[in-house]
Amino acid sequence: RSTAEKFEFQAEVSRLMDIIINSLYSNKDIFLRELISNASDALDKIRFLSLTDKEILGEGDNTKLEIQIKLDKEKKILSIRDRGIGMTKEDLIKNLGTIAKSGTSAFVEKMQTSGDLNLIGQFGVGFYSVYLVADYVEVISKHNDDKQYVWESKADGAFAISEDTWNEPLGRGTEIRLHLREEAGEYVEESKLKELVKRYSEFINFPIYLWASKEVDVEVPAEDDDSSDEEATSDSSSEEEKEDEEKEEDEEGEKKPKTKKVKETTFEWELLNDVKAIWLRNPKEVTEEEYTKFYHSLAKDFSDEKPLAWSHFTAEGDVEFKAVLFVPPKAPHDLYESYYNAKKSNLKLYVRRVFISDEFDELLPKYLNFLMGLVDSDTLPLNVSREMLQQHSSLKTIKKKLIRKALDMIRRLAEEDPDESNDKDKKDDDESSDIDEKKGQYTKFWNEFGKSIKLGIIEDATNRNRLAKLLRFESTKSGGKLTSLDQYISRMKSGQKDIFYITGTNKEQLEKSPFLERLTKKNYEVIFFTDPVDEYLMQYLMDYEDKKFQNVSKEGLKLGKDSKDKELKESFKELTKWWKGALASENVDDVKISNRLSDTPCVVVTSKYGWSANMEKIMQSQTL
């Protein structure tokens, strides 16, 4: 069209589209759930706005918050339409031409190597998956604040936008028209679409309709069938005569009427999903499979992996709400990358079943950002702005309860894992599949999200002890496996007061440390902390179950009194004094007689409140 304005895609988008078009990825189905998910988002947005502005929905069909799918078999066009918020011209240019979010190039790279498009929705570029099945796409959109526009592109590096003067007015919302590729013909089959909607869009909170054909029986006069014969034999028989005959027979009521049934195809809107809010149901009645599917739809993760754990509960009292929390099977790629840049939580907030926001940082502390889930509250007000809601006093109560439930859920995950148990015999006896499934799940959790637990200990003083219970680490006695503080305490020697640990870059190096000599000889267990974050962690974790933590490379290590201590101190007094004087310029505070060594003649120890050698190293690497 000559009046169309032409635009070029941002280079990143072009690259992404090229990959999609040339992808040999076999599961092309995913485009449909991305489009439905976008339609659902757009409907959520308009519904949210309508809470404070009733006029915004308009009237008539415009008030119907639904999604419609239509097929044109002959032209091979698949259209998905919503009555959501729509897009202005500016929105079209911005949303369907540029990628705002970071991490996209990481995704592009990953896709180039793995070819797996399954997670595309998590990266905020799901729309472009339409080019898996279409070679030409039109997006017709009408926003309340603008005229109706058409965005179109053949994925050739450019798109065009025109004011829409030829399509039917949408009222409000968006219609995506996919001109399907030759080999994607299956997507105009009704059965295929029904199957896909069932599989991928079960938990969409708006009705999804398909303009579906229906075979109906219609009664037609039987004469019609042999009318050609009649026409051939007798021209004279008039319509009136026939009708008269029919009537006579009908009135007699004995002979069969001379009509017959014929199949005819009509079209009507067929509802494909039943809009169900899983979180409103009784947890006892929801199956594991339903939770898994619900998780997949929340997380936009269709990799078939089960969530590691979930918790579905109702909170009663001053603040009432229902919630479902999930521990994902894998940490998102950027979980710790963007930790300090205010990454939004993955919790969706609903108020009385109306979606409000998935960017409410007030619901969970940062360290629990890895959880997926949803909160639906009856206590929060519906008709206030997001800003007002963010300051509502109930949020504090909700947050507190969510943290409790989340930590309970993680503790249960550990308790149910047979690998976690000290009782080895029990482990071998029990071979039910349920146990098998739970085996090793806490290790899996720890490997993915252990860092979050550590960050929690640093940040959340209230729950520090609960979080410390969830800590896992290796030690001189863990035999290459992970162990916990409770297990450490159960192995403590009689008379041992402190929990011993040592920090460093890796276990192998620490195992050779002279600081361990005497301790291992005396059969004390020492924890290895090898993650840089552990140094910070131990500045916050002072004690556990009344036991103090003692860094064995620091001053203050007490391994029980030796009767010779005093004697030795006295006899080496001159030497230590001389040495202290000689090393004064090397920033050495003190020189002491010690009983911590057995083979090594001397070690450099850090003062109780100073940085450990490992911490020095970490700080140096950070300032470089």
123 annotated ligand binder:
yes
How far is it, in rounded angstroms, from Cα 447 to Cα 330? Answer: 9
* Backbone conformation region of residue 421, classed left if phi is above 0, alpha if psi is from -120 to 50, else beta: beta
Residue 120 touches which of ligand ADP, Mg ion, none (Cβ within 5-8 Å per kind): none
57 binds, among Mg ion, ligand ADP, none (CB under 5 to 8 A by kind): none
Q: Count of CB atoms within 10 A of residue 81's CB?
A: 20
Distance of closest approach, residue 554 Cβ to ligand ADP, in angstroms: 49
Q: Which does 39 bind (CB under 5 to 8 A by kind): ligand ADP, Mg ion, none?
A: ligand ADP
Q: Is 102 annotated as a binding residue?
A: yes
Name the site residues for Mg ion (rule: CB under 5 A): 38, 126
Figure out which of the listed residues 126, 329, 332, 456 binds ligand ADP, where binding follows CB under 6 A.
Answer: 126
Q: Of Mg ion, ligand ADP, none, which one does residue 125 interact with (CB within 5 to 8 Å by kind)?
A: ligand ADP
Q: Which does 82 bind (CB under 5 to 8 A by kind): Mg ion, ligand ADP, none?
A: ligand ADP
Which of Mg ion, ligand ADP, none has residue 84 at its interface (CB below 5 to 8 Å by kind)?
A: ligand ADP
124 is in an annotated binding site: yes
Residue keyed to tokens 């449909």: 32
Question: Does the annotation place 122 within a ligand binding site?
Answer: yes
- The span of 32-40, 238-246, 546-554, 600-608 binding ligand ADP (CB under 6 A) equals 32-40
- According to the annotation, is 34 in a ligand binding site? yes
Q: Which of 16, 25, 29, 34 binds ligand ADP (CB under 6 A)?
A: 34
3-class secondary-structure state, position 217: strand
Show the binding pattern over residues 92-111: x = contacts ligand ADP (CB under 6 A), - = does not: ---xx---------------
Question: Distance (Å, rounded) from C-alpha 71 to C-alpha 492?
Answer: 71
Asked if 125 is part of the footprint of ligand ADP (rule: CB under 6 A), the reply reads yes
Q: Is 125 marked as binding a ligand?
A: yes
* Partner that binds at residue 69, options Mg ion, ligand ADP, none, CB closer than 5 to 8 Å by kind: none
Minimum distance of ligand ADP from residue 99's CB (angstroms): 8
Phi then psi for 206, rounded to 5 degrees?
Answer: -130, 150
- Build a one-symbol-per-residue string for 137-176: x at contacts with ligand ADP by CB under 6 A, - elsewhere: -------------------------------------x--
For residues 295-312, one letter each, b for 16 or more C-beta atoms within 10 angstroms of the residue's C-beta and e for the rest, the string is: bbbbbbbbeeebbbbbbb
Distances from the Cα of 313 to the Cα of 60, 288, 327, 357, 409, angstroms: 38, 15, 15, 20, 11
Q: Least distance from C-beta 516 to ligand ADP, angstroms?
A: 51
The answer to whether 317 is a known ligand-binding residue is no
Question: Can you tell me which of 17, 25, 29, 38 binds ligand ADP, judged by CB under 6 A?
Answer: 38
The entry of Mg ion, ligand ADP, none near residue 171 (CB within 5 to 8 angstroms by kind) is: none
Residue 173: Cβ-neighbour burial (10 angstroms; 0-12, 13-18, 19+): buried
Q: Two tokens at 42?
A: 């757009």
Chain centroid offset of residue 393 CA: 27
Closest alpha carbon to 65 in 172, 190, 195: 172
Residue 197 binding partner per list ligand ADP, Mg ion, none, with a CB distance cut-off of 5 to 8 Å that depends on partner kind: none
**Helix, strand or coil, per DSSP, at residue 199:** helix
Burial class (CB in 10 A: 0-12, 13-18, 19+), 83: buried
The length of the chain is 624
- The Cα–Cα gap between 409 and 464 comes to 16
- Both tokens of 362, joined, read 């007030």
How far is it, in rounded angstroms, from Cα 551 to Cα 541?
A: 12
Return the number of the residue (344 or 577) whose C-beta is nearest ligand ADP.
344
Minimum Å gap between C-beta 141 and ligand ADP is 7
Phi, psi of 60 (to 5 degrees): 60, -140
User: Residue from 48, 127, 501, 528 that binds ligand ADP (CB under 6 A)?
Assistant: 127
Q: How far is the CB of 121 from Mg ion (least distance, A)?
A: 6
Beta bridge partners of 11: none
Angle between helices 532-540 and 441-459 (to 10 degrees): 50
CB nearer to Mg ion: give 38 or 550. 38
39 part of the interface to ligand ADP, by CB under 6 A:
yes
Rounded to a whole number of angstroms, the minimum distance from the CB of residue 606 to ligand ADP is 49
Per-residue binding letters, 45-84, with ligand ADP (x by CB under 6 A): -------------------------------------x-x
Size of the site for ligand ADP (CB under 6 A): 16
Residue 577 annotated as binding? Answer: no
Element (H or E) spanning 192, and its range?
Answer: helix 190-200
Question: Measured from the CB atom, is 119 or 327 closer to ligand ADP?
Answer: 119
CB nearer to ligand ADP: give 132 or 538.
132
Backbone angles phi, psi at 322, to 5 degrees: -115, 150
The pair of structure tokens assigned to 471 is 């800590």
Backbone angles phi, psi at 263, to 5 degrees: -80, 135
Examine residue 323 and tell whether it contacts ligand ADP (CB under 6 A).
no
Q: Is 227 annotated as a binding residue?
A: no
Go through 418-429 and write b for each residue having 16 or more CB atoms within 10 A of its CB, e for each that does not. bebeeeeeeeee
- Closest C-alpha among 150, 123, 122, 147 to residue 136: 150
User: Of 34-42, 354-362, 510-518, 601-609, which segment contacts ligand ADP by CB under 6 A?
Assistant: 34-42
Task: Name the one range near ligand ADP by CB under 6 A: 38-46, 214-222, 327-335, 458-466.
Answer: 38-46
**314 annotated to bind ligand:** no
Q: Which residues are annotated as a binding site for ATP?
A: 34, 38, 82, 87, 95, 101-103, 122-127, 174, 386
Q: Which residues of this chain interact with ligand ADP, rule CB under 6 A?
A: 34, 38-39, 41-42, 82, 84-85, 87, 95-96, 124-127, 174
